[in-house]
Chains A and B, each alone.
Chain A
Amino acid sequence: MRAIRILATVALAIATSHVPAQAADTYAEECGACHLAYPSRLLTAPEWRRILDDLEHHYGVDATLDEPTRQAVAQRLGLTSPALKSPAASTTQVTLPRITTSRWFVDEHDDVSAATFRSPAVRSAANCAACHPSAARGEFDEDDVRIPGARP
């Protein structure tokens, strides 16, 4: 009897130690693989929806996810209803929204030159963490900004 309990505990311990990524943060894992896992507040819900409706044409790259993962990301971004379009339905390519062309973003960065955004250490305005050290935690306080190569 005790053997069964021990074995059950062992089986459970082994099983739970192998729970794949869904238990971890799917959004950070999947979206954060290529770019900062942008805080959801940086785009509106309809904008996020347009992005998730066509992950095959994602700013010039294929970012397709299997369906359960795509749904988990949608949930994380607060897109509960209506349902996302099925991946096969997205044949016509729409222009995707960009955080970096949002009015607020342009206003907040009007003192940063295009050359700074293109510099090797930054490369792209999408690379928030190059200048915002706490970007990964969703913090973009102006006082924390450190532009690489700029004098302090």
Chain B
Amino acid sequence: MRRMIPALLTAALAVPTAHAVTPESLMQGYTAEARGNASTFDAPSASLGQQFFAKKHGEWSCSSCHTSNPAAPGRHAVTGKPIAPLAPAANPKSFRDAARVEKWFKRNCNDTLDRPCTAAEKADLIAYLLSVQKGG
């Protein structure tokens, strides 16, 4: 019986930590991946992330839907549906779910760049979004 107590405690603690994803932890994960891909990648760069965010890669840029201010609400370029702000300072739910983040990177990079984003681009982008203060 006594053995059950630590087991239950572990279960209670393990569940929330599995979801304790932060923008910082995601950025660190992409940073590690980028370093593994290229020894030249040092640390994520907010200024490169900003350039990436604003740049029109083809028909679209990130700003097409998310506006040029990631702390402001966006609007879907096709349907007009409102989109919550991307910057964690303006949206506490942003970059808090790894699967959700990967789902949107896959779709949006495919739409905007016509290719997947690299780990370096993802790390830079999150660094930029973390640097954006509430109100822009």
A: which residues have CB within 8 A of B?
1, 3-4, 7-8, 10-11, 14-15, 18, 20, 33-36, 56, 59-66, 122-124, 126-127, 130
Query: Does B103 lie within 8 Å of A130, measured CB to CB?
Result: no
List of B residues within 8 angstroms of A35 by Cβ: 76, 79, 81
How far, in whole Å, are A1 and B5 apart by their CA atoms in the complex? Answer: 10
Query: Does B107 lie within 8 Å of A62, measured CB to CB?
Result: yes
Q: How far is the CB of B83 from chain A (nearest CB, A)?
A: 8
Query: Does B76 lie within 8 Å of A34, measured CB to CB?
Result: yes
List of B residues within 8 angstroms of A130 by Cβ: 80
How far, in whole Å, are A59 and B77 apart by their CA atoms in the complex? Answer: 12
Other A-B pairs, 14, CB within 8 Å; known A56-B110, A64-B103: A4-B4, A4-B5, A4-B8, A11-B8, A18-B19, A35-B81, A61-B111, A62-B106, A62-B107, A62-B110, A63-B107, A122-B80, A124-B79, A127-B80
Q: How far is the CB of A28 from chain B (nearest CB, A)?
A: 13
Per-residue CB contact flags for chain B residues 66-93 toward chain A (1 = under 8 Å, else 0) read 0000000000101111000000000000
Select one of B5, B18, B80 contacting A3, CB under 8 A: B5
B: which residues have CB within 8 A of A?
1, 4-5, 8-9, 11-12, 15-16, 18-19, 76, 78-81, 97, 99, 103, 106-108, 110-111
How far, in whole Å, are A3 and B19 apart by their CA atoms in the complex? Answer: 26
Select one of A7, A61, A122 contacting B8, CB under 8 A: A7
Query: Does B5 lie within 8 Å of A127, measured CB to CB?
Result: no
List of B residues within 8 angstroms of A34 by Cβ: 76, 78-79, 81
Q: How far is the CB of B81 from chain A (nearest CB, A)?
A: 6
Query: Does A123 lie within 8 Å of B79, measured CB to CB?
Result: yes
How far, in whole Å, are A27 and B74 apart by their CA atoms in the complex? Answer: 22
Could you list 20 examples of A-B contacts with CB < 8 Å? Answer: A7-B5, A8-B8, A11-B11, A11-B15, A14-B12, A15-B12, A18-B15, A18-B16, A18-B18, A34-B81, A61-B111, A62-B111, A63-B107, A64-B107, A66-B99, A124-B78, A127-B79, A127-B80, A127-B81, A130-B80
Select one of A1, A63, A65 contacting B1, CB under 8 A: A1
Select one of A11, A36, A59 contacting B12, CB under 8 A: A11
Q: Whose C-beta in chain A lies nearest to the C-beta of B108?
A: A62
List of A residues within 8 angstroms of B108 by Cβ: 62
How far, in whole Å, are A56 and B107 apart by their CA atoms in the complex? Answer: 8
List of A residues within 8 angstroms of B97 by Cβ: 20
How far, in whole Å, are A33 and B107 apart by their CA atoms in the complex? Answer: 13
List of A residues within 8 angstroms of B78 by Cβ: 34, 59-61, 124, 126
Q: 6 nearest interchain CB pairs? A: A123-B80, A11-B12, A62-B110, A62-B107, A7-B8, A35-B79
Q: How far is the CB of A100 from chain B (nearest CB, A)?
A: 11
